[in-house]
Structure 1
């Protein structure tokens, strides 16, 4: 089974405004509401690819109820922890001449409620996947990822970590199955300015030497570079298409890689599936569908 954790899910309120004018009343030309959060995105895309998962995390208040309702409407299995206080956040994403985001803080998670999550994770079994994606809410200890991975170490669980900075560096020692920073995040991880593919490959290999089994470095429209657990280096150009929405593309790449890998345990095919799935979300208003992914797979060499 694949488990995803979204510590701070949100209702993403996406609006389009023709020519945003600050300090004035603006009228939207398009609006939509989604259940947001990196782990939730991964679970929804996995379901679209006919792969089952269970979405874990924390929800609160009427917004939390709506998040759970929408995730269940996507036919994703959920086991959220309902917090006793507060409300899940609403993130406003404004599409205009430039994209602008207003992200809420989210509710406070108590130590007891965090322990409840730890208890649920004790049910994971050998060969299960656990996706840890996104930032840690301010109400939780910064080492929460480390605590989770330390508690589950040596149990044959495949950790997938999509995080940045010290959050990622501090868990590499637990040998995650997959990490997926983009090329800008890779630069920040090592405190260097990366300006060539050779440098990307060098620092991606450093992540492998530090413990990561498989490393994908996404490069937006320039495709991605994959360093596999066998040491093989593969670069793939991005499929051709018009970018409609960048939200969730990275999460979709993670979902595609996992779904592709579980078909026949082939890492190269998993990488191709990841590229196609990430691009399918980028080229769509919503998250990737299987039909769109299958169309794009034919473009990938």
Structure 2
């Protein structure tokens, strides 16, 4: 089972406006509503790829009900804890350039945080737990550490998809996988990373700290995986990019689904890159048919 934890889920409200005029009344050409949040995205993609997944986290109010209902419609298993307040709405305005306005979420107290952590008592050594997103100011500040410590006690595999000082603190727990982009990797060391050789060098330093797998995305240059099995460069398929939301989450989901299916790091990377690309070429998160179509277009070489 692959569990995902999203501390501050959202409704992603996407509005497409062909001719946006600031300060005027604008009418959207198309509107879409999705359950959002990085961990939620990972679970949605995992389910579409046929992997067993369960979404954990906190929801609140009528917006929280929408998030749960949509996930259930997509047959994603959920154990989302209901708290006081209202789950946030994130507005994504597509009008030439893409503009995002992210709302704030409900306040989660120590008791509710403990309830979430206690849900992890069922973990098995074959399970994965994906901790995704920045730490909201509405939850206890040490909740990620407490979650990882519970995972470690049950010998479950931890995946961390966050950035900044928080990621730096969590490296000491030696997670199974992290997925920084090259800017975030540089931030861990206070440097600017511009070349593939620099990515490999700094990923090696992270690997030497005990992180098992490091995927570093480099936008149009593809991604580099540094692992015990080797170092690989993956080049993404070419296509019409329609969507910048969820591509990285889809990469994580595809990698984990591929790893469970093939037990092979290289094939897991291929599945991850195909999933991330399929989402980038779609209006919503990827579908399995499109991922499968792109698999043979992913070029991977050992470096």
Specify if TM > 0.5.
Answer: yes
Q: Do the aligned residues in 1 keep the contact of 2:16 with 2:30 (CA within 8 Å)?
A: yes
- SS of the equivalent of 1:298 reads helix
Superposed, 1:202-241 pairs within 5 Å as 202-230=201-229, 232-241=230-239
Q: Give the whole-Å Cα distance in 2 for the aligned partners of 1:215 and 1:26.
A: 43
Superposed, 1:144-293 pairs within 5 Å as 144-230=143-229, 232-293=230-291
- SS of the equivalent of 1:171 reads helix
Pair 1:126-2:132 in alignment: no
Deviation at 1:187, TM superposition (A): 1.7
Q: Give the whole-Å Cα distance in 2 for the aligned partners of 1:295 and 1:138.
A: 41
Deviations 1:121-153 (A, max 9, x none): 122111210000001110223332112112332
Deviation at 1:167, TM superposition (A): 1.4
Paired positions, count = 299
Q: Give the whole-Å Cα distance in 2 for the aligned partners of 1:190 and 1:30.
A: 42
Deviation at 1:238, TM superposition (A): 1.1
Unaligned 5+ segments in structure 1 are: none
Q: Do the aligned residues in 1 keep the contact of 2:258 with 2:269 (CA within 8 Å)?
A: yes
1:113: which partner in 2? 112
Stretches (4+) displaced over 2 A: none
- SS of the equivalent of 1:153 reads helix
1:29: which partner in 2? 29
Q: Give the whole-Å Cα distance in 1 for the aligned partners of 2:278 and 2:267.
A: 16
TM-score for both structures, normalised by structure 2: 0.96
Q: Do the aligned residues in 2 keep the contact of 1:145 with 1:167 (CA within 8 Å)?
A: no
Q: Give the whole-Å Cα distance in 2 for the aligned partners of 1:215 and 1:22.
A: 42
Q: Do the aligned residues in 1 keep the contact of 2:109 with 2:140 (CA within 8 Å)?
A: no
Q: Give the whole-Å Cα distance in 1 for the aligned partners of 2:225 and 2:59.
A: 35
Deviations 1:171-212 (A, max 9, x none): 111111110001121122211111111111111111111221
Q: Give the whole-Å Cα distance in 1 for the aligned partners of 2:10 and 2:281.
A: 23
TM-score for both structures, normalised by structure 1: 0.97
Unaligned 5+ segments in structure 2 are: none
2:74: which partner in 1? 74
Superposed, 1:56-95 pairs within 5 Å as 56-83=56-83, 85-95=84-94
Q: Give the whole-Å Cα distance in 2 for the aligned partners of 1:148 and 1:2.
A: 15
Q: Give the whole-Å Cα distance in 2 for the aligned partners of 1:165 and 1:174.
A: 16
Deviation at 1:108, TM superposition (A): 0.4
1:48: which partner in 2? 48
Q: Give the whole-Å Cα distance in 1 for the aligned partners of 2:27 and 2:120.
A: 45
Deviation at 1:154, TM superposition (A): 4.4
Q: Do the aligned residues in 2 keep the contact of 1:276 with 1:300 (CA within 8 Å)?
A: yes
Deviation at 1:52, TM superposition (A): 1.2
Deviation at 1:101, TM superposition (A): 0.4
RMSD of aligned alpha carbons: 1.0
